Amino acid sequence: MNDILQTGAVIGILGGGQLGRMLAIAASRLGLKTHIFEPGADCPASHVAWKTTTASYDDSAALRAFAESVDVITYEFENIPTSALDLLESLRPVRPNRRALAISQDRIAEKDFLTGLGLTCAPYATVQTMDDLAAAMAKVGTPAILKTTRLGYDGKGQARIMSPQDAPEALASMQGAASVLEGFVNFEREVSVIAARGLDGSVAAYDPGENVHRSGILHTTTIPARLSPSLRSDAVLVAARILNALDYVGVMGVELFVTPQGLLVNEIAPRVHNSGHWTQNGCAVDQFEQHIRAVAGWPLGDGSRHSDVVMENLIGADMDRVPALARETGTALHLYGKAEAKTGRKMGHVNRVTQRKG
Amino acid sequence: MNDILQTGAVIGILGGGQLGRMLAIAASRLGLKTHIFEPGADCPASHVAWKTTTASYDDSAALRAFAESVDVITYEFENIPTSALDLLESLRPVRPNRRALAISQDRIAEKDFLTGLGLTCAPYATVQTMDDLAAAMAKVGTPAILKTTRLGYDGKGQARIMSPQDAPEALASMQGAASVLEGFVNFEREVSVIAARGLDGSVAAYDPGENVHRSGILHTTTIPARLSPSLRSDAVLVAARILNALDYVGVMGVELFVTPQGLLVNEIAPRVHNSGHWTQNGCAVDQFEQHIRAVAGWPLGDGSRHSDVVMENLIGADMDRVPALARETGTALHLYGKAEAKTGRKMGHVNRVTQRKG
């Protein structure tokens, strides 16, 4: 019980975007303060946080002062530089733990970990040279996607290979970085499970949502997803297996493809996830509070769904629709306070709430 | 449309308690920043506000700087000193308007206003001298309650008069302040209507809740209240009449007694109200966001009830129950981040959510 953070304790959050903002709001409901660490000025989370440190991840004095002012550290994104993590971990608990971060930072490590658990991923093979790529195409077939192993901050580092003749150009675009070739998956739909694991090892999962993307960005999540009862419980069990194997503490987003052969794990994210935003208006305890509960050592809350929800992201010029959305029935707005509505930028989301059916 | 505050605009809030805190959170959902003005240090709202000014209401330089940093000013309590209001009003719009504040600061003005609208209050009479008090007792009868006309910050200034022989002591306890004698009301229950009026004059009301007090402090609000359909619409119409008569902008709490003769207005509060906290987990748009929408010139949101709720206040030592409450099904916690759990102090509340029946 000593691990439970009490009123007035401080959660440190690495990253000050919209996820950090909504984590800060959730922490306040539990009487907890938040301190944001973020290189960018006037970040969304700073508007609702107790304190904000604006500094870069190589400023060790700033990192040290940040860590010493908080009780526990969590994060809203997975690409935290290793050197920063080394320093922070030496001063305060960092949750979720480093193994989850390491795996999600490296596509090969992630796929090896998942398949090692007996879970199914898209066929994949490691690629460094042209010979590797030829062997990889022989293994996973074409069409396929070549991706750098390490995630870039900018979302770059992907090339489609529709047929073997695309291979040289695709490999060149990797600029010598270690890469992975992923086979195309013929899936019926993408669903995601937002699952949480507490410091006491208990696991809870929200009802799976069904995701639709546009231009590579999540467009809508609909809850409940169209899933048979057996696939629904499979999806939750897959998530639970991943969390337990990592001795994970916090919320994780697990993206799954539904295929004729069953579920296939697309990607995991060791943090609150865009496809879990519906929980803000569909559950007594949302994904943000669930994450804060976990990292603060609290018991997990009740994430059962009281309402059906369709979450829609507001991207860039979608902000022009806000006046109309503000008048809609059963619609909850969540804006992120970002000054400029750039193309492709996530500016907010709406949750459209209806009575739970079934 | 020029009056609609856009992303990045700043709402100034006078008062940094739990109501200011929850207003700040609601404002963030609309992309708005908040600046709190509060004399006390480390106030609950400061943990989630963009900025906080810690200064007294007679610090005109601080008031001026505060007003100049915001786009509109609202408040979480009604006892704002007149001199502060004079200065603030000269610099920025203050919503709700001054008339609502003036009326709610003076029990006689409030009762005269309400009865002037044709609404029913408990019988009352103004008292300054012993002769007035004798005449007042003849008019309203005993038992009755003698109260100072102006509200005190400390909740003092009330004396029960069970029979005429209690009169001299009761009058002495008023210490010469203008007072009002209120007759006892034989009511079946107390309900409250949380209503809102937008800058465009539109009015919306939440479903009435039923209030139970303990030791003079709100204990629970249960939604829906036990009210016949006709009394329910009467309650909403009473609130709408009050808001329209005051050309009100914002959320108001209207406390009503249900008597065999119909509804009787107990008290109005020109602000978000403790008996409206259930809306956080029962509606797509809660009372805090509805208030921010109104003062920011936005359209009012959908306040229809999607779930039934019982709100329970957590007072003082109720904080010891938090670990158990955190494990309850269907229960949403809302803690205020107050360091000391003093007797009688509002520390938080829980909303117990169940499926809507009827």
pLDDT by 10-residue block (mean), chain A, 358 residues: 79 98 98 98 97 98 98 95 95 96 93 97 95 94 92 68 93 91 94 98 98 94 96 97 98 97 95 98 97 98 95 97 96 96 95 91
**Touching A: B residues 123-182, CB under 8 Å:** none
CB contact under 8 A, A28 and B33: no
CATH number for the segment(s) A123-183:
3.30.1490.20
Q: Where in chain B is the domain with CATH 3.30.470.20?
A: 189-355
Looking at chain A, the domain(s) classified CATH 3.30.1490.20 span 123-183
Over 90: is that where the pLDDT of B108 sits?
Answer: yes
pLDDT of residue A3: 64
Q: How large is the ipTM?
A: 0.94
CATH of B189-355, one of 3.30.470.20, 1.20.1250.20, 3.30.1330.10, 3.30.300.30: 3.30.470.20
Q: Is A184 annotated as a binding residue?
A: yes
In chain B, the percentage of residues whose pLDDT exceeds 70 is 97
B65 pLDDT higher than 90: yes
Q: What percent of chain B has pLDDT over 90?
A: 91
Domain span(s) for CATH 3.40.50.20 in chain A: 10-94
pLDDT at position A154, please? 47
Contact A304 B348 (CB under 8 A): no
Q: What is the pLDDT of residue B150?
A: 86
* SS3 annotation, chain B: CCCCCCCCCEEEEECCCHHHHHHHHHHHHECCEEEEEECCCCCHHHHCCCEEEECCCCCHHHHHHHHHCCCEEEECCCCCCHHHHHHHHCCCCECCCHHHHHHHCEHHHHHHHHHHCCCCECCEEEECCHHHHHHHHHHHCCCEEEEECECCCCCCCEEEECCHHHHHHHHHHCCCCCEEEEECCCCCEEEEEEEEECCCCCEEECCCEEEEEECCEEEEEEECCCCCHHHHHHHHHHHHHHHHHCCCCEEEEEEEEEECCEEEEEEEECCCCHHHCCHHHHECCCHHHHHHHHHCCCCCCCCCECEEEEEEEEEHHHHHHHHHHCCCCCEEEEECCCCCCCCCCEEEEEEEEEECCC
pLDDT of the residue at B154: 47
- Residues in chain A closer than 8 A to B20 (CB atoms): none
Whether the predicted pLDDT of B153 surpasses 70: no
- CATH class of the domain defined by B10-94: alpha beta
Name the least confident of A264-278, B162-176, B244-258.
B162-176
CA distance A57 to chain B (A): 23
A–B CB contacts, 8 A cutoff, strictly below: 124
Q: Which of B28, B69, B345 to mutate to test the interface with A (most CBs of A within 10 A)?
A: B28
